[in-house]
Amino acid sequence: MSIGTFGNIYSDELITATELNRQPGRVLDKALERPVTITRNDQSFALLRREEVTSLVKAATQSKAVFEALTVAFSLLLGKEIGFEHPYGWLSVFDTDDLQEFIKELSEAFRLIDSSITAWEMIDAIIHEWHESGIAIASPELAAAFSAETDEVPLTKPSAHSAV
């Protein structure tokens, strides 16, 4: 279930706590179809399927991560210093073009959350891959390995050494 599914959440049916006590089966059947609001005095309670709640919590949590990652990327583009201790500080190793590409990829994936059942997995994968690349770029061992002079010896063709 996507966030868009709940765009009109408050048009659900209102049920009193008394009705819930008298006809729990009927109320639960309604909650299978759409969210139900149960009212008691001045309080309101939402009744919806656990899968829907799980989806909403996941969407809220992951939306926060997307927002934070994009905020850091935009801040870096504006020249702000972000320390490596920040959860998205690893983005500071990328240049302007890379940051713009990261923003583009993440934004495009986020736009798919209402239309693709795999959008959240795509978002997780994008952040993970960029994070791994950031770690690799920041690694002094890898930097040394890539910049080291090679002591490769070119191989000669086997036919040149085949004697009698």
Q: pLDDT of the chain along its 164 residues, tens only?
A: 444 444 444 567 889 999 999 999 999 999 888 889 999 999 999 898 898 888 888 889 999 999 999 999 999 999 999 998 999 999 999 999 999 999 999 999 999 988 888 899 999 999 999 999 999 898 888 877 777 777 777 777 777 555 55
Do 131 and 88 sit in the same domain of this protein?
yes
- pLDDT on residue 74: 97
Same domain, 34 and 91: no
- Whole-model pTM: value is 0.67
Residues 68 and 130 in one domain: yes
Range of the domain at 72: 52-146
State the pLDDT at residue 11: 62
On whether residue 142 sits in a domain, the answer given is: yes
Q: Does 127 share its domain with 61?
A: yes
Q: In this structure, are 56 and 137 located in the same domain?
A: yes
Q: Are residues 67 and 138 in the same domain?
A: yes
Give a yes or no: residue 8 inside a domain: no
Whether 135 and 56 map to the same domain: the answer is: yes
What are the residues whose beta carbons fall under 8 Å from the beta carbon of 27, sequence distance 6 or more?
15, 19, 20, 36, 38, 47
Same domain? 38 vs 64:
no
Query: Are residues 103 and 73 in contact, defined by beta-carbon separation less than 8 angstroms?
Result: yes
Is the CB of residue 106 less than 8 Å from the CB of residue 123?
Answer: yes
From CA 25, how far away is CA 45, in angstroms rounded? 17
CA angle (13 as vertex; 9, 16 as ends), nearest 5:
125
| pLDDT score recorded for residue 125 | 96
Question: Do 130 and 113 reside in the same domain of the chain?
Answer: yes
Tokens representing 75 are 């801040």
Q: Is residue 71 included in any domain, yes or no?
A: yes
Per the structure, how many domains does the chain have? Answer: 2
- 74 and 118 in a single domain? The answer is yes
- Say whether both 68 and 34 belong to one domain: no
DSSP 93: G
**In-domain check, residue 157:** no
* Burial 130-146, CB ≥16 within 10 A → b, else e: beeebeeeeeeeeeeee
